[in-house]
Every structure is written in C-alpha cells, then in structure tokens.
Amino acid sequence: MIGTGYDVHQFAENRPLILGGVHIPHTHGLAGHSDADVLCHAIADAVLGAMGKPDIGFYFPPGDPSCKDISSLKILEKCRELLAEENLTLINVDSTLIAEAPKILPYREAMQQNIGNALGISPKRVGIKATTNENMGFIGRKEGIAAMAVAQVE
C-alpha cells in the first residue's frame, strides 16, 4: 500500500526552524500550532494515507491545547503505534522539501536519523531531497516551505 502526503507552512518571526526534528539556523521559523515541522507532517500524512487512516489533523487537531508546540517527531511516533496496531510494516518513505532557503543537505543525515527512529525504520529507508521553486510563487518569494512525501506499507 502506498500513501502520499503534502504540507506547507508560512515563515514566521521569533520561531525556530525545525525540519525532520532538527533545529536549523535560519532567519525565520515556520508558523503552526505544533513545531510546524513541514517535513514530518508530510511524511505522517503519507504513512497514514498508506494505512487508509485520516490525516494528522484527526489525531492532532490544530486547536487542541495538548498539541501546542508538540514535536512533530511525536506525530511520527503515533504513526508507528498505528502501524503496530494494524500489524503493518513501514517499508520506506521518500520526501522532498521545497524551499528557496535554507540549504538542507548539511542536516539531511540528522533528519534521516530522527525520522527513522520515530518511525522505527532504518534511516537508510528515509529519503529526503530538496529543491527550490525557481523563485516562483510563495515559496519563490521566500514566504514559506512545502514538503511532499510518499510512504510504502505492507
């Protein structure tokens, strides 16, 4: 079974930038109720979709005070629990971050490690790529970051 995920968050001042559970030095963080980790959110929706489950908003409602500033790695851990409950195995995830800045490559391995640990899979089974939007649209204007992901479950 295969699932896809997509997420987007606007940049915000006075917030840390967290991607794949890694704090990345940058001028802005991302706006959101949780830590706004756009990469983890896209991956979570891909895993949930592969299981035929509702999206992350069902399990972690945006207005729920208990979800305020939650680490998105906790969301991935919930996905891991749901996989176990269904006796399913996560084979791999592949993802793409879309942003003009910052550069992602220096943090890629740490992100793979965090995401793999949270999901209970080898970091080698966590694909993370990055691209720009060639200065087009809200991403090109450096207003936010988007992420896409796909997950395979059996």
- What are the chain's domains? 2-153 (3.30.1330.50)
Work out the average pLDDT over 34-59: 97
Whole-number pLDDT of residue 4? 98
Whole-number pLDDT of residue 25? 95
| Cβ count near 131 (within 10 Å) | 13
In the block, tokens 């990345």 appear at: 24
Q: pLDDT tens digits, residue range 58-112?
A: 999 988 888 888 999 999 999 999 999 999 999 999 999 999 999 999 999 999 9
Residues in the chain: 154
143 Cβ contact partners less than 8 Å away, ≥ 6 residues apart: 10, 11
Percent of the chain with pLDDT over 70: 100
Does the predicted model carry a pTM greater than 0.95? yes
> Which carries the bigger pLDDT value, residue 63 or residue 17?
17
* Vertex 99: Cα angle to 73 and 149 (nearest 5): 45
